[in-house]
């Protein structure tokens, strides 16, 4: 039987993960699941962990869910380790988003200044997890969901020297689930190709005869919000730009292609005491979810979880694990080492691309070079990530400033420096390296 360890087990997403494992039990015979958390997440772990056990008890399968604050005890002889933790919990995210917005700067928690600070807090912890894995489960696969998933996955390989890692995001899953029906097809009648980096990728779609149907989907997307994650405000792309590109940008491209409108929308919500930042909205949803999870009769994933942006997470995570375990060679979009799939980026950097997932991990599918505009964006964004990672590992203030200045969502200058300084103080407790 398979031993699964989930770090950040107290997350409200855990029932989503359990549902995915239950659905795939026949091909992935799990013996035990260990949910790991820390003292600050103890109550959440107990509530959601008990709920997770109820889900298994309601299934035909005999699986034990262990709850622990002892990561090392859990990691011993693990087969798959999944990570879904948030250093500082949602209160830290409130700061990530609110402090930049208070200066009129987008406070996005994955690719704005918030994302940079989430990386600063997360990378040292994930490197500690990797060190424990080298000792306690050297053959295990690490399936990383912790954001910023691209940078965290890259840092695991680059600084942790650990190659058995796959980074995941639900955004490509959402696109593949929503788009086919826009053109009257099902997913198995289409061939999807993704390339880019996490929260900054594009995709093309062909039919089984090899005809490009990307343009057809783009046309239809303008009369629907299909595939946009729940956390992203729907401002449509400029159709002339996207048609010319003939690639479908991911939801997060709105922050770059419609920067002004996205910032204004975020400021409007921030300035409305009834709404607030996304982090504040999510705290509300989380409280509602944990209220439900306490119900001893609830033994399935509640509908309310779909208010969170991470819907379909389990389809990516559990399918990846099942594909490695059963050597299925399924097409899944993952963060993995480039190895030439996107020739515009170095071979050793992590990209988010279409890949075949099997017993040896991810084999990225060649996408080819991007047109100049997208290539330019991608190279800036990937190099921004590399600066962030190095700053996270070294605690170098000059590099942190470089990361802020190169990030396209942060207008450079005195204000950027002030936001950086304020975030460094606000998160001091979680940033021993600075
Ligand atoms: P959350 O605030 O509920 O945090 C999850 C748990 O992590 C908490 O119970 C917390 O106590 C625990 N934790 C914090 N530090 C820890 C540590 N050092 N070791 C072990 N556990 C620790 O978070 P959430 O909103 O449920 O999100 C969970 C994570 O998943 C976040 O990192 C988020 O960015 C990520 N996420 C990723 C995607 C994706 O597409 N890749 C989608 C949704 C969420
Ligand atoms: C998704 C992204 C995730 C992100 C989440 C935020 O769609 O893929 O990486 O963490 O949305 O959702 P939330 O509900 O936490 O704002
Ligand atoms: Mn994501």
- pLDDT greater than 90 at residue 158: yes
Angle formed by the axes of helices 113-136 and 414-426, nearest 10°: 40
> What would the mean pLDDT of 1-20 be, rounded to a whole number?
97
Whether residue 148 has its Cβ less than 6 Å from ligand 2:
no
Q: Which of 159, 192, 252, 430 is catalytic?
A: 252
| Residue 229: strand, helix, or coil | coil
Q: Whose CA is nearest to atom 11 of ligand 2?
A: 309
Whether residue 7 has its Cβ less than 6 Å from ligand 1:
yes
Whether residue 170 has its Cβ less than 6 Å from ligand 2:
yes
Give me the pLDDT at residue 178, please: 93
Contact 429, 87 (CB under 8 A): no
Cis peptide before 148 (omega within 30 of 0): yes
In this structure, which ligand is nearest to the CA of 280?
2
Whether residue 312 has its Cβ less than 6 Å from ligand 2:
no
> What would the mean pLDDT of 155-175 be, rounded to a whole number?
97
Cα-flanking dihedrals φ and ψ of residue 415, to 5°? -65, -40
| Residue 161: strand, helix, or coil | coil
Task: Express each pLDDT in 70-125 by its tens digit.
Answer: 999 999 999 999 999 999 999 999 999 999 999 999 999 999 999 999 999 999 99
Stretch (H or E) spanning 403 = helix 397-406
In this structure, which ligand is nearest to the CA of 108?
2
For residue 214, what pLDDT band results from cuts at 50, 70 and 90? very high
356 flagged as catalytic: no
Selection from 146, 144, 195, 143 nearest residue 172 by Cα: 195
In this structure, which ligand is nearest to the CA of 124?
1
Comparing 53-57, 223-227, 238-242, the range with the smallest average pLDDT is 223-227
- pLDDT greater than 80 at residue 223: no
Whether residue 255 has its Cβ less than 6 Å from ligand 1:
no
- Pocket probe for ligand 1: among 8, 155, 228, the residue whose CB has the most ligand atoms within 8 Å is 8
Give me the pLDDT at residue 105, please: 97
For all residues of the chain together, what is the average pLDDT? Answer: 96
Please tell me the distance between residue 297's alpha carbon and the centre of ligand 3 in angstroms. 31
Query: Given the DSSP bridges, would you call strands 80-83 and 200-207 parallel, antiparallel or unpaired?
Result: unpaired
Contact 399, 391 (CB under 8 A): yes
| Residue 191 Cα distances to 153, 204, 323, angstroms | 26, 8, 19
Structure ipTM: 0.99
C-alpha 247/C-alpha 5 separation (Å) is: 37
C-alpha 381/C-alpha 200 separation (Å) is: 8
Counting residues of the chain whose pLDDT is more than 70, the rounded percentage is 100
Query: Given the DSSP bridges, would you call strands 2-7 and 30-36 parallel, antiparallel or unpaired?
Result: parallel
Handedness of CA 395, 149, 97, 15 (dihedral sign): negative
> What would the mean pLDDT of 208-216 be, rounded to a whole number?
97
Please tell me the distance between residue 138's alpha carbon and the centre of ligand 2 in angstroms. 30
- pLDDT greater than 90 at residue 212: yes
Query: Given the DSSP bridges, would you call strands 30-36 and 141-144 parallel, antiparallel or unpaired?
Result: unpaired
Here the contacts of 125-128 (C-beta below 8 Å, separation 24 or greater) are 125/85, 125/87, 126/83, 126/152, 126/155, 126/156, 126/160, 127/155, 127/156, 127/159, 127/160, 127/393
Provide the whole-model pTM. 0.97
For residue 338, what pLDDT band results from cuts at 50, 70 and 90? very high
Using only C-alpha atoms, the chain has a radius of gyration, in whole angstroms, of 21
Please return the burial class of 211, using the count of CB atoms within 10 Å of its CB with bins 0-12, 13-18 and 19+: exposed
Cα-flanking dihedrals φ and ψ of residue 212, to 5°? -75, 120
For residue 300, what pLDDT band results from cuts at 50, 70 and 90? very high
Please tell me the distance between residue 199's alpha carbon and the centre of ligand 3 in angstroms. 6
Whether residue 313 has its Cβ less than 6 Å from ligand 1:
yes
Q: Which atom of ligand 1 is nearest to the CA of 12?
A: 26
Selection from 83, 79, 2 nearest residue 35 by Cα: 83
Selection from 197, 227, 145, 134 nearest residue 350 by Cα: 197
Give the strands of the sheet with 200-207, arranged side by side.
Answer: 190-197, 200-207, 248-249
């Amino acid at each position: 039987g398979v031993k699964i360890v989930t770090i950040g087990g107290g997350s409200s997403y855990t029932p989503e993960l359990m549902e995915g494992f239950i659905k795939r039990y026949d091909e992935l015979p799990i013996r035990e699941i260990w949910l790991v958390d820390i003292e600050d997440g103890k109550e959440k772990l107990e509530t959601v962990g008990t709920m997770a056990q109820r889900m298994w008890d309601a299934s035909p399968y005999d699986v034990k869910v262990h709850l622990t604050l002892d990561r090392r005890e859990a990691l011993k002889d693990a087969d798959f380790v999944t990570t879904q933790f948030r250093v500082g919990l949602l209160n830290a995210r409130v700061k990530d988003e609110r402090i930049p917005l208070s200066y009129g700067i987008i406070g996005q928690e994955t690719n704005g200044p918030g994302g940079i600070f989430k990386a600063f807090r997360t990378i040292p912890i994930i490197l500690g997890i990797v060190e424990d894995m080298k000792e306690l489960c050297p053959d295990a696969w690490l399936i990383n969901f912790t954001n910023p998933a691209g940078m965290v996955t890259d840092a695991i390989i680059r600084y942790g020297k650990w190659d058995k890692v796959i980074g995941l995001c639900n955004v490509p899953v959402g696109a593949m689930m929503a788009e086919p029906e826009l053109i009257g097809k099902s997913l198995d009648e289409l061939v999807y190709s993704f390339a880019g980096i996490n929260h900054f990728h594009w995709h093309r779609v062909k039919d089984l005869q090899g005809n490009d149907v990307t343009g057809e989907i783009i046309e239809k997307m303008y009369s629907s919000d299909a595939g946009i994650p729940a956390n992203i405000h729907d401002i449509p792309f400029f159709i002339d730009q996207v048609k010319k590109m003939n690639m479908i940008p991911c939801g997060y491209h709105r922050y770059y292609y419609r920067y002004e409108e996205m910032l204004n929308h975020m400021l409007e919500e921030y300035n409305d005491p009834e709404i607030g930042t996304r982090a504040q909205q999510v705290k509300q949803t989380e409280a509602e979810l944990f209220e439900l999870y306490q119900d001893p009769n609830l033994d399935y994933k509640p509908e309310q979880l779909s208010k969170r942006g991470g819907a379909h997470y389990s389809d990516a995570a559990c399918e990846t694990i099942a594909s490695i375990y059963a050597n299925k060679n399924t097409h899944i979009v993952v963060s993995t080492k480039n190895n030439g799939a996107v020739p515009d980026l170095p071979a050793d950097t992590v990209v988010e691309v279409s890949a075949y997932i099997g017993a040896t991990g991810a084999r990225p599918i060649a996408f080819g070079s991007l047109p100049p505009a997208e290539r330019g964006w991608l190279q800036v964004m990937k190099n921004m990530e590399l600066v962030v990672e190095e700053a996270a590992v070294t605690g170098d203030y000059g590099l942190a400033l470089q990361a802020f200045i190169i990030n396209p969502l942060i207008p450079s200058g005195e204000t950027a420096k002030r936001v950086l300084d304020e975030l460094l103080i606000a998160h001091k407790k979680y940033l021993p390296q600075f």
